Amino acid sequence: MNIKIVGAIVAITVLLFSVSRCSRDKQESTLSFIQPSQVDSSIDTKRKEVFSKWLSALEHKKRMKNKYYKKTYPAYVEMDVLGNRRVLEMDLKPDFHWYVSAGHLLDEFPQMHIKQTMNNGKSLLSLFIIEKDGFKVFTAVWVSNSAFSRESKKLQAYGISPPDFE
C-alpha cells in the first residue's frame, strides 16, 4: 500500500477519533486536538503595520467574491466580537492555491479541515478562534501542501505560528 494512502488513513482515523471526543454542546465546544495559531506579542508593532484595516463581514465577503486577491492572499485573518475582520496579506505566487474560511462555528472546523487537507491537498496555515455571542467561531487559512513550509516561514516573521495538532 502506498505510504501516502496509509498516512492519509491514519490521519483521518486520528481526526475522527479526536472529533468524537469533542463536546457537542456548542456553548462549551472546544476541539481538544488543535491549538490555534500562536501570536508573539513582542512583534505586535511590526504585525500591525501590515494588517489591513478592519473590514466588516460584508466587505470581507465582497473581497472574496470580487477576486480582490490576485497578487496577495489572506494568510492570517483575525476577527473581533462584532464579526469584523482584519487580514495579514502575503504575496501570492502562482505555484499554489489557498482557501480561507471565516466566521464559522468551531464545530464545523473538522469537516472543513478534512475537505481541505484530504480532498484538496492543502495544509492548515493559520487558525484564529474567538468567542462571539457565546459561541466559538474560527477563521482559518489553508494553502497547497507544496507551499506550506515557505508560507509558514513568512508568517513566523510576523510572530504568527501555524496551528498545533496535539
Instruction: State the cell numbers at 92.
Output: 501570492
pLDDT of residue 20: 42
84 within some domain: yes
What 110-117 contacts at long range (C-beta under 8 Å, 24+ apart), as own/partner pairs, is 110/15, 110/18, 110/19, 110/22, 110/31, 112/140, 113/15, 113/140, 114/12, 114/15, 116/142, 117/11, 117/142
The pLDDT of residue 66 is: 81
* Residue 3 forms part of a structural domain: no
The confidence score (pLDDT) of residue 31 equals 66
pLDDT at 15: 46
Torsion region of 16: left, alpha or beta (phi above 0 gives left; psi -120 to 50 gives alpha): alpha
pTM: 0.79
C-alpha 48/C-alpha 118 separation (Å) is: 33
| Distance in angstroms (rounded) separating the CA atoms of residues 59 and 98 | 19
pLDDT by position in tens, the chain (length 166): 555 554 445 455 444 444 444 433 433 445 667 899 999 998 888 888 999 999 999 999 999 888 888 899 999 999 999 999 999 999 999 899 999 999 999 999 999 999 999 989 999 999 999 999 899 999 999 999 999 999 999 999 999 999 998 7
Residue 73 lies in a domain: yes
- Domain housing 128: 33-165
User: What are the grid coordinates assigned to 63, written together?
Assistant: 473581497
**Does residue 17 belong to any structural domain of this protein?**
no
Which of 124, 38, 34, 129 is closest to 79 using CA atoms? 129
Query: Residue 30: what pLDDT?
Result: 52
- b or e along 77-105 (b: 16 or more beta carbons within 10 Å of the residue's beta carbon)? bbbeeebebbbbbbebeeebebbbbbbee
Q: Is residue 19, in this structure, part of any structural domain at all?
A: no
Question: Which pLDDT belongs to residue 64?
Answer: 85
**23, part of any domain:** no
Residue 119 lies in a domain: yes
Give the side-chain half-sphere CA count within 13 A for 153: 3
Q: Assess if residue 72 is contained within a domain.
A: yes
Q: Cα–Cα distance between 113 and 36 in angstroms, integer?
A: 13
pLDDT at 116: 93
Domain count, the chain: 1
Q: Which residue's entry shows cell 492555491? A: 97
